[in-house]
Amino acid sequence: MDFDVIVIGAGAAGMFAASIAAQRGKKVALIEHRSSPGEKIRISGGGRCNFTNLHTSPENFLSDNPHFCKSALSRYTPADFLALMHRYGIGWHEKHKGQLFCNDSAEQIITLLRNECATGKVYWFMPCKVGSVSHSKCKFVLATEAGELHSAKLVIATGGLSIPKTGASDFGYRVAKRFDHEIIPTRAGLVPLTFDLSQWQPFSALSGLSLPVEVHTCSNASERGKRVSFYEDLLFTHRGLSGPAILQISSYWQNKGSLDINLLPSINLGRALIEKKKQSKSQLGTSLESYLPKSLVQLWLKQSALWEEASTRKIAELNDQLLRNLGSTFHRWSLTPSGSEGYRKAEVTVGGVDTRQISQQTMESSKLPGLYFVGEVLDVTGWLGGYNFQWAWASGFACGSSV
């Protein structure tokens, strides 16, 4: 069977690229190895799909080639996808910091994409596994469970390694290598961080506790040596730390790097305690509980003989320097994760196909004309909060418009 375009991978980027190309009159085949499309769409945002972010900009993305994403993001914006949502009458709401979710269900996004593919008369092969991909005489030849398929153009939209239960695999990277593309080393991103269990044991008692923090990478821990920070909620777990603050910083965290966490970013705790002692007769521990969760305060004070001894004394009896020093321990909690929960719990894959070998206007390979890469398989990783879906729409649109 011959096609103008074959797209491998019916996720967000793959379905969108296929629909755009097909609506331009191309004969498009879309191949998906699972029995249903858009599995990561289906489970995202608690089943309501955080489908974009109003504040999307290139600064919200990581890449070894940071300027690559600018062109595609500027040509297909959150407003463009919202216009498509409006056409289908899909309700949405803003939850937090520009994050947009469906009012009802993520299934609405999948239905939208399938209908867009139907409008262009996309040919579906699903479930259908691809055995091999070769290129000869300006044609791609795919050996599949549905037989041999041929096309002049091939789009790889197979995603990364995150959440294997959704069918994630290294297929896209293997195709890229097959045609001489470099792969930026991959790792789990937007993922909870873990700690040595013996070291973490005292803190495991805080499992389930959440509080707003500011978390920083130390200067040598992030990519390109930049200090990165996020102000979000942190969640204690039995094995380590999670919550939006940790998921965000995890994409920048490098193995063996340390983190600085400000557990009370809204005020200067040392200064507040010094002011408090002027009119308070309460003990230090009780005073601290005015600002921080009781369970955290009690555990924190037990970690140091000095603080534990001071905690039972009235705050008015303690000198200012001691209060400043205590405050600074909450403002700069330095710790070194031993690892992460890995691809099993990662929302994205950091790294991927090197974008220096890809056209930023069309997503076409400079190594092999006719070969395209879109979405998560590329070395472009968005922050938490809808940015990765916006990259899927933008890269899919760039590819589908030009393929």
Question: How confident is the prediction for the chain on average, in pLDDT?
Answer: 95
Q: Which has the minimum average pLDDT: 14-23, 175-184, 278-287, 394-403?
A: 278-287
Mean pLDDT of 295-308: 92
Instruction: Give yes or no for residue 390 having a pLDDT over 70.
Output: yes
Dihedral angle over CA of 358, 364, 365, 366, nearest 10 = -80
Please choose, from the candidates 340, 12, 387, the residue with its C-alpha nearest in 3D space to the C-alpha of residue 189.
Answer: 340
Instruction: Give yes or no for residue 222 having a pLDDT over 70.
Output: no
The tokens describing 171, both together, are 């297929």
What's the confidence (pLDDT) of residue 221?
42
Mean pLDDT of 63-91: 98
Please choose, from the candidates 374, 308, 309, 311, the residue with its C-alpha nearest in 3D space to the C-alpha of residue 5.
Answer: 374
Instruction: Give yes or no for residue 7 having a pLDDT over 80.
Output: yes
For 199, 214, 239, 298, 325, the CA distances from 303, given in Å and listed in that order, are 12, 22, 19, 9, 14
Q: Note whether 93 and 52 are within 8 A (CB).
A: no
* Residues whose CB falls within 8 Å of the CB of residue 173, separated by 6 or more in sequence, listed in order: 183, 186, 352, 353, 377
Instruction: Give yes or no for residue 219 having a pLDDT over 60.
Output: no
Instruction: Give yes or no for residue 9 having a pLDDT over 60.
Output: yes
| Percent of the chain at pLDDT exceeding 70 | 98
Going from N- to C-terminal start, the domains of the chain cover 2-187+348-402, 192-341
DSSP 270-330: HHHHHHHTTT--SBHHHHHTTTS-HHHHHHHHHT-HHHHHHHTSBGGGS-HHHHHHHHHHH
Over residues 147-164, the pLDDT tens digits come to 999 999 999 999 999 999
Over residues 231-273, the pLDDT tens digits come to 999 999 999 999 999 999 999 998 888 999 999 999 999 999 9
What's the confidence (pLDDT) of residue 201?
93
Mean pLDDT of 120-130: 98
Can you state the angle between helices 78-87 and 387-402, rounded to 10 degrees? 80
The tokens describing 315, both together, are 């705050």
CATH topology of domain 192-341: Elongation Factor Tu (Ef-tu); domain 3 (2.40.30)
What's the confidence (pLDDT) of residue 346?
97
Q: Which has the minimum average pLDDT: 2-11, 41-50, 96-105, 306-315?
A: 306-315
Mean pLDDT of 383-391: 98
The tokens describing 325, both together, are 């020093």
Amino acid 8 reads I
What's the confidence (pLDDT) of residue 256?
81
Mean pLDDT of 301-322: 91
What's the confidence (pLDDT) of residue 218?
72
Q: For 25-129, where are the E strands, in sequence order?
A: 28-31, 50-53, 61-62, 92-96, 99-102, 123-125
Amino acid 335 reads L
What's the confidence (pLDDT) of residue 96?
87
Instruction: Give yes or no for residue 223 having a pLDDT over 60.
Output: no
CATH topology of domain 2-187+348-402: FAD/NAD(P)-binding domain (3.50.50)
Q: Note whether 138 and 131 are within 8 A (CB).
A: no
